[in-house]
């Protein structure tokens, strides 16, 4: 069964700046809590089809190969897993005027089943709220400091 996390933040920066920051895989380790590694596996590193191998450490090590499945400049980034931990991430960007942006995240993930899956879930689930809070705070802080 999939678990879903939804969260949004307001950032004191224009939507084009926020989108460019979130879309830059070289910066993701600076703001996504628990992200240990993100490595492109295709020459294309932006837009639909860009594919990466990622490693998260949230009490346990979680790996996935992810691919961008939707990309609209300054509006939408969507990433889905191709292998590993099943997950979908949808990031939407809204121009609030006066140089402010609302960034909304919708993340769905499915942990493995069976005894091993229950052990992974027991390690990961308590950290989800911490991860969301730290990720949001780091993203806002980093973009507003640009």
pLDDT in tens, 64-88: 999 999 999 999 999 999 999 889 9
Q: What pTM was computed for the model? A: 0.89
Quick check: 80 and 92 in contact, CB under 8 A?
Answer: no
Tell me the pairing of strands 35-40 and 61-72.
unpaired
Quick check: 131 and 58 in contact, CB under 8 A?
Answer: yes
- Which of 42-46, 88-92, 131-135 is predicted with the least confidence, judged by mean pLDDT? 131-135
Tell me the pairing of strands 100-110 and 3-11.
antiparallel
DSSP annotation of 5: E
1 pLDDT more than 80: no
Q: How many domains does the chain have?
A: 1
- CATH value at residue 95: 3.30.530.20
Structure tokens at 114: 């069976």
What's the alpha-carbon Rg for the chain, to the nearest Å?
15
Q: How confident is the model at residue 29 (pLDDT cuts 50, 70, 90)?
A: very high
pLDDT of the residue at 85: 86
DSSP annotation of 12: S
Count of H-run helices and E-run strands, the chain: 2, 7
How much is the mean pLDDT over the chain?
Answer: 91
**Which range of residues forms the domain containing residue 29?**
3-144
118 pLDDT more than 90: no
């Amino acid at each position: 069964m999939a678990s879903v996390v939804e969260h949004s933040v307001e950032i004191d920066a224009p939507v084009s700046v926020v989108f460019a920051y979130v879309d830059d895989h070289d910066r993701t380790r600076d703001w996504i809590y628990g992200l240990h590694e993100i490595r492109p596996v295709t020459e294309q590193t932006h837009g639909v089809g860009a594919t990466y191998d990622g490693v998260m450490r949230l009490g346990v090590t979680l790996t996935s190969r992810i691919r961008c499945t939707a990309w609209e400049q300054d509006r939408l980034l969507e990433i889905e897993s191709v292998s590993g931990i099943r997950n979908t991430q949808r990031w939407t960007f809204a121009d609030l005027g006066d140089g402010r942006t609302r960034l909304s995240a919708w993340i769905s993930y499915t942990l493995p089943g069976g005894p091993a899956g229950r052990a992974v879930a027991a390690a990961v689930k308590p950290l989800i709220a911490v991860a969301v809070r730290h990720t949001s705070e780091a993203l806002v802080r980093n973009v507003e400091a640009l």
